[in-house]
């Protein structure tokens, strides 16, 4: 398995705070059957890319420490870019493993930015493919899951967090992650790991869950083949997404929501 969303690069964001912690995370990932990790530190503003040289240096340090400890995991660099109207692709870490095509993008928690659809349209036409990080966690998609299909149908990709699918963030987020899976909208499942405890570098349990519920072929695409193709900037073989129908305001739905509220 290859994990395309991690905060394992030491001392750069809210993930691994130092090299010792980063190596522990690496050990955890290796023990879990992960063979490749893309380090995706947060890029909150364009000027964060100016520190590119530091990030690459940290990557080399971590690679060396991993090799010295005999941990058989390949490391790559990318980033998790916070969505902004003027995205730049000049940096070697703007796309995952500098593949030139696929990049990981984060939305605000509370809303889907109005400019996202138009911006993605222009980018996709330019062969820059956005991978939306953990859509199941955003209030925008929790309220309007049908928009997730709209994004995928127009060429964006979705990366769900392993923990979300295992219910670590509650039943509502798990339900949405399941819904995305049921509608062929999930192209990657990653750990989004920040440490070895609460947000750990593990995928195996979720791989097994996906294989049991949606089949081994789907699990292999999501955890192994798609990430590999992304690292090389190749063409993905995508399943046909099925639309999520907008929930209509029927009395039945309203009643269900009231019941949920009073639970
Ligand atoms: Fe992240």
Per-residue pLDDT tens over the stretch 76-127: 999 999 999 999 999 999 999 999 999 999 999 999 999 999 999 999 999 9
Query: Regarding beta strands 80-82 and 42-43, do their DSSP bridges make them parallel or antiparallel, or are they unpaired?
Result: parallel
Domain ranges of the chain: 2-262
Mean pLDDT of 10-21: 97
Q: How far is the CA of 7 from the centre of ligand 1 (A)?
A: 6
Q: How far is the CA of 252 from the centre of ligand 1 (A)?
A: 37
Mutual angle of helices 52-68 and 19-31, in 10-degree steps: 60
Q: How far is the CA of 241 from the centre of ligand 1 (A)?
A: 25
d(CA 203, CA 14): 20
Q: How far is the CA of 259 from the centre of ligand 1 (A)?
A: 33
Decide: 5 and 40 in contact? Cβ < 8 Å: yes
Mutual angle of helices 171-182 and 204-214, in 10-degree steps: 50
pLDDT at 246: 81
Q: How far is the CA of 49 from the centre of ligand 1 (A)?
A: 16
Decide: 210 and 218 in contact? Cβ < 8 Å: yes
The length of the chain is 263
Q: How far is the CA of 189 from the centre of ligand 1 (A)?
A: 12
CB atoms within 5 A of ion ligand 1 belong to 80, 192
Mean pLDDT of 51-75: 98
Q: How far is the CA of 244 from the centre of ligand 1 (A)?
A: 25
CATH class of domain segment(s) 2-262: alpha beta
Other CB atoms within a 10 A radius of the CB of residue 119 amount to 18
Query: What value, to the nearest 5°, has the Cα angle with vertex 237 and ends 232 and 242?
Result: 135
């Amino acid at each position: 398995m290859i994990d395309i969303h991690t905060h394992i690069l030491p001392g750069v964001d809210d993930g691994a705070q130092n090299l010792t912690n980063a190596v522990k995370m690496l050990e955890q990932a290796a023990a879990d059957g992960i063979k490749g990790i893309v380090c995706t530190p947060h890029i909150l503003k364009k000027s964060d890319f100016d520190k590119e040289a530091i990030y690459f240096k940290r990557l080399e340090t971590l690679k060396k420490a991993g090799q010295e400890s005999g941990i058989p995991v390949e490391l790559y660099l990318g980033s998790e870019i916070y969505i902004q109207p003027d995205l730049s692709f000049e940096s070697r870490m703007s796309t995952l493993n500098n593949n030139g095509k696929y990049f990981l993008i984060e939305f605000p928690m509370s809303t889907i930015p109005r400019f996202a659809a138009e911006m993605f349209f222009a980018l996709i036409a330019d062969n820059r493919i956005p991978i939306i990080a953990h859509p199941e966690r955003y209030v925008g998609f929790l309220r309007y899951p049908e928009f997730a299909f709209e994004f995928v149908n127009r060429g964006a990709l979705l990366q769900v967090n392993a923990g979300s699918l295992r219910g670590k963030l509650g039943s509502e987020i798990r339900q949405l992650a399941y819904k995305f899976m049921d509608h062929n909208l999930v192209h990657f499942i990653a750990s989004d790991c920040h440490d070895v405890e609460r947000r750990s570098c593990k995928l195996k349990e979720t791989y097994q869950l996906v294989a049991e519920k949606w089949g081994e072929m789907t699990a292999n695409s999501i955890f192994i083949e798609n990430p590999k193709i992304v690292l090389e900037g190749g063409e993905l073989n995508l399943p046909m997404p099925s639309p999520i129908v907008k929930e209509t305001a029927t009395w039945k739905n309203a009643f269900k929501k009231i019941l949920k509220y009073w639970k």
